[in-house]
Amino acid sequence: MRRLVISVIALVTMVSATTVASAHGFQTTLPSRAHLCKIGRIPCGDIKYEPQSVEGPNQFPQAGPADGELCSGGLPQFVELNKTRVSKSMPWPTADVQPGSTHRFQWTLTAGHKTSTFRYYVTRDGWQPDQWLTRAQLEPAPFAVIGYNGQLLQGGVSHEVKLPVKTGRHIILGIWDHTDQPKAVYACSDVFFPAG
């Protein structure tokens, strides 16, 4: 009987841990690196099973993941998301986008969270695509901020956002800020702005 009780407790603990670990979301359009891993476009390791789990500390850019770990949310098990295409360590495909155009950002939310904002940053002109993404490589302010004032979001959400005027290869960093916990979900998308 004692063995059965211990087994049941272990099972409940394991299920609870699994529920907590898988309770977030990911950006599907523009496709984030986590989404590309999920659908098998890139060989990325364990992130293909957990694209919704790229969650790190909130309060970016004052806090949050360390420089060089922004695309993985600071999680070492998802380090592949930080690797660069230029160094050939990860062959991230780019999505072609038009400078200054309006584009839809779609998120799949695998669990509900009370939400502060969704914010979108882009890399600066002259950034170093052969280096892992840092705050210094991003424009200082997001090009779009969508506020939710603590609203509980579930299932999915999309935003029509005007893109900045850029040329060439860039990374867009999307951040979903929660208010019900000190966490945020991080999503890096590789894009290409053709020259006008």
Instruction: Kindly state the average pLDDT of the residues 28-47.
Output: 93
Contact 186, 174 (CB under 8 A): yes
pLDDT of residue 10 exceeding 60, the answer is: no
Contact in structure between 178 and 115 (CB atoms under 8 Å): yes
pLDDT greater than 70 at residue 5: no
The model scores a pTM over 0.95: no
Q: Write the DSSP string, 101-158.
A: -EEEEEEEEEEEEEEEEEEEEEBPTT--TTS---GGGB-SS-SEEEEEEEEEEEEEEE
- Tokens 């160094």, located at residue: 87
What are the boundaries of each domain within the chain?
Answer: 25-193
How much is the average pLDDT of 18-36?
Answer: 77
Residue of 113, 136, 133, 115 lying closest to 173 (CA atoms):
133
If pLDDT is split at 50, 70 and 90, which confidence band does 88 have?
low
Task: Determine the Cα–Cα distance for residues 45 and 30; give it in Å rounded to an integer.
Answer: 21
25-193 has which CATH code?
Answer: 2.70.50.50
Give the least confident one: 52-56, 71-75, 86-90, 174-178: 86-90
Under 8 Å between Cβ of 124 and 164? no
CB 170 within 8 A of CB 127: yes
Q: What is the pLDDT of residue 91?
A: 82
